[in-house]
Amino acid sequence: MKPLSIAFFGSSLVSAYWNGAATYYRGILQALAVNGHRITFYEPDAYDRQQHRDIDDPPWAEVIVYPAAGEAGVERALDRARAADLIVKASGVGVFDALLEARVPAIKRPGAIAAFWDVDAPATLDRIAGSPHDPFRALIPAYDIVLTYGGGPPVVEAYQRFGARRCVPIYNGLDPLSHYPVAPKPRFACDLGLVANRLPDRERRIDEFFIAVAADLPDRRFLLGGSGWSDKPLPANIGYLGHVYTRDHNAFNASALAVLNVSRDSMAAYGFSPATRVFEAAGAGACIITDMWEGIELFFEPGREILIAENGPAVAEQLARLGRMEACRIGAAVRARALADHTYAQRVVLLQRVLEGIE
């Protein structure tokens, strides 16, 4: 397709601090830039993300940071964005969400595309289903397309019921230039590692799939990374790392015998939602143990490329019988599959075909 100018309103491209979508944004947008598209990313100066940057402004996107207080800054950003061929409002910007949701489809010029890109579709859909007067609910038909980073058929069908003209999942993927095998580091050595921010709809599952498992296996070493856990009572064999910067993700994933993925409640309920960290770990060649959710076999083969656990005791059982050679075999298999079928370059091929089909 011909190169597009893309205006993208999201949470943050340059900081993964309390911002799980950063890896996804970077992978998709960098792949678009490689194909000649020109990207401007608009993000608010909010939640201390600018103080916790983990990349500089990238050469493949212009980053414009606007103030989180007062509407003048975001209105200037919108005024500049109206010239773009594709204007994207991502979910979960964190400030001015309602304003942006209303204004993005209104400012597009004739022939341009307005897209809502939902990086947490289960949460969005549950919210609007429970609130008939939610302002976004009435705006869904105003967008030319809804894109999601997960959710599969259940999310597509739900968005269509709310009037979406078209809804297409563009799944998380692997950027092999960012996530790849590295030498293990002693500070990240453990039997089971988990990186996950503390969120209300994930904490119960982490209690079951990680913390209770550590309590039952006192002779094993566990590592927990992510923000918000500093006041959480933890067994003595769990080391808490705090926020793990993107630059350390490869070493973290390469140093554990196994890496755990725990979906949030809503993601597990809808299924078809592989997290960014699954692909990060796959790129590093890690042996991944994940909670069970519908659709996982579309991405990785259970037992050969990824290990599945339906509950905490199943995690303990998987870990108890996992040897180093088997972990390496599974890690090599999941990396090979991710490289073959799940790179962001491949995701963007689908995205471009979808955008070309919008009239």
pLDDT of the residue at 178: 95
Average pLDDT, whole number, for the chain? 96
| HSE value, Cβ hemisphere, 13 Å, CA-based, for 118 | 29
The whole-number average pLDDT for the span 300-319 is 97
From edge to edge, which strands make up the β-sheet containing 113-118? 62-67, 38-45, 5-9, 86-90, 113-118, 145-148, 167-169
Q: Report the C-alpha gap between 57 and 334 in whole angstroms.
A: 31
pLDDT of the residue at 209: 97
pTM, to two decimals: 0.92
Amino acid in position 205: R
pLDDT of the residue at 359: 55
**With bands split at pLDDT 50, 70 and 90, how would you rate the model's confidence at 227?**
very high
- pLDDT per residue as tens digits for the range 144-172: 999 999 889 999 999 999 999 999 999 99
Residue percentage of the chain with pLDDT more than 90: 93
- pLDDT per residue as tens digits for the range 73-91: 999 999 999 999 999 999 9
Query: Could you tell me the domains of the chain?
Result: 5-173+343-356 (3.40.50.2000), 186-341 (3.40.50.2000)
pLDDT of the residue at 1: 84
Q: Nearest 5°: phi and psi at 66?
A: -115, 155
pLDDT of the residue at 8: 98
DSSP letters for 86-139: EEEEES--SSSHHHHHHHHHHHPPTT-EEEEEETTHHHHHHHHHT-TT-HHHHH
Q: Of 68, 162, 125, nearest to 269 (Cα)?
A: 125
Q: Note the maximum CA span of the chain.
A: 64
Q: Which residues contact 111 (CB under 8 A, 6 or more apart)?
A: 85
**With bands split at pLDDT 50, 70 and 90, how would you rate the model's confidence at 56?**
very high
Q: Partners of 288 in the beta sheet?
A: 259
Angle formed at CA 251 by CA 271 and CA 256, multiple of 5 degrees: 65
Q: Is the confidence at residue 201, as pLDDT, over 90?
A: no
Q: What secondary structure letter does DSSP report for 217?
A: -
The whole-number average pLDDT for the span 246-265 is 96
Question: By mean pLDDT, which of 196-200, 242-246, 264-268, 308-312 is the weakest?
Answer: 264-268
